[in-house]
Amino acid sequence: MSAIGTGMTGVALAIQVWGITGSSFAVGAIGLATMVPTLALGLLGGSIADAVDRRRLVLATSLGLTLVAALLAVQAVLDLRQLWLLYLLAAAQSGLSAVDAPARRTFAPRLLPPALIPAAAALTHLGWQVSALVGPLVAGSLLADLNAMVLAMPAALFPALADARFGGGEATAALLYAAIGLGGLVAGVLSGPLGRIRHQGAAMLVAVGAWGAAMVGLGVSPALGLGVVCLVVAGAADVVTVVLRGSILQLTTPDALRGRIGGVDFVVGAGGPQLGNARAGAVAAVVGPAASAAFGGVACVLGAIGIAAAIPAVRRYRVESEGG
C-alpha cells in the first residue's frame, strides 16, 4: 500500500510540474533533482546501514518519507505552485530513500537460505511492480475526475508521446506508464525459473538488451497497441535484470558489507533511470519524444554489448548448483 501511494505521488508531482511549466524538460528535470541526493547519499546510506541497527534506521527513514509525503499533500492543497518547492521535496524523498533502501536490502540474506534469495528478490520486486501498475492507473482515474488538463502525466516522454504520436491524453499516458508495471507484474509472478539460471551474468546482459530493444520499438511504434506491447516487454525485462543483479550482489557480498554494496546498487537502480529521464526530456526537446525513446534504446543495447565485450567477468558469472 505504501508503494502504491508512492507511485501515485510520483504521478501527481510530475503533473504539477507540467501544469506550472508546460515543459517536458522541466518534467525531466525532476530526474536531476532526485539524482543528486541519490548519488550523494546512496553510498553514504550503505555505510550507515552497516554501522547502526538497520531496523531502527528503516523505521526512522520511513517516518521521514511519510513526512515528505504529507508536505507534498499540503502544498498541493494550498495550491502554492512553487516549482522550487516541488524539486526540493522530490530531492528530500530521494535522499531518504537512498538511506532506506540499502538497509532494507540487507534483511533477506539474514532470514533466508541462499537457494531462496532469487525468489525473495523476485517477490520484493513484484511488490514494486504491482505499485507501478496500480499507482498510475489510480492516479490517472482520479485526475480524469478532478483535472481537465490534457497530457498532465509523469515522465519526460509519455505526455508528448500520448499526444503527438498516439493522439490521446491523460488516459493514454496513464496506460503507457501502467504497461511497464503490467510487464513487471507478469514477469514477477512467473519468475520462479530465474532461480534455476546458472549463467546469471549473461542472462542479465540479455535482459538489459531486451529493455533497450523494447524502447526502440516504442519509439518507432505507429500505433498505441504496439507501443503498449513494447512497454510490457520492457517491464518484464526490467524484472529479470533486477532479480538477477540483486541475487548476484546478495550471494557474493559478506554481511558486513551488504549495506554499502546495497547503497551502490541503489545508486545504479534509482539514479540511473532519473538521469535517463532527464536525458530523455532534453533530447526530446530537440528531436521529438519518439526519436528520443528510440535513440535511448539503441544506446542501451550498445551499452550491454560493450559491457559484455569489455568486462568478460560479467558475462561469465555463474552460480554453482547446490550439489557443487
Sign of the C-alpha dihedral computed for residues 106, 108, 113 and 117 taken in this order: negative
What is the reported pLDDT for 150?
28
| Residue 232 pLDDT > 70 | yes
| Residue 125 pLDDT > 80 | no
Confidence of residue 139 (pLDDT cuts 50, 70, 90): low
> For 199-206, what is the mean pLDDT?
88
Q: Is residue 322 part of a domain?
A: no
61-65, 277-281, 318-322: segment of lowest average pLDDT: 318-322
- Supply the CATH number for residue 146's domain: 1.20.1250.20
User: Where does the chain have alpha helices with state H?
Assistant: 2-21, 24-51, 54-78, 83-104, 107-111, 117-146, 158-160, 170-189, 200-220, 224-252, 258-266, 272-287, 289-310, 312-316
91-100, 133-142, 240-249, 314-323: segment of lowest average pLDDT: 133-142
Q: Is residue 166 part of a domain?
A: yes
29-33, 99-103, 249-253: segment of lowest average pLDDT: 249-253
Q: What pTM does this model have?
A: 0.61
Q: Is residue 323 part of a domain?
A: no
Distances 105 to 15, 21, 146, 192 between C-alpha atoms, Å? 31, 37, 38, 20
155: left (phi over 0), alpha (psi -120 to 50) or beta: left
What is the reported pLDDT for 323?
44
How many domains, in total, are found in the chain?
1
| Residue 66 pLDDT > 70 | yes
Average confidence score pLDDT of the chain: 80
**Cα 68 to the center of its chain, rounded Å:** 19
For residue 163, give the amino acid letter.
Answer: D
Q: Is residue 196 part of a domain?
A: yes
Q: Is residue 324 part of a domain?
A: no
Q: Is residue 321 part of a domain?
A: no
Q: Is residue 289 part of a domain?
A: yes
CA angle 131/93/24 to nearest 5° reads 75
> For 197-201, what is the mean pLDDT?
85
| Calpha distance 198→118 (Å, rounded) | 12
94-108, 111-125, 150-164: segment of lowest average pLDDT: 150-164
Q: What range defines the domain where residue 132 resides?
A: 2-316
| Calpha distance 259→14 (Å, rounded) | 31
Quick check: 157 and 101 in contact, CB under 8 A? no
pLDDT in tens, 288-310: 888 888 888 888 888 888 888 88
Q: Is residue 240 part of a domain?
A: yes
Q: In this predicted model, which residue has the larger pLDDT, 77 or 37?
A: 37
**Cα 198 to the center of its chain, rounded Å:** 26
Confidence of residue 149 (pLDDT cuts 50, 70, 90): very low
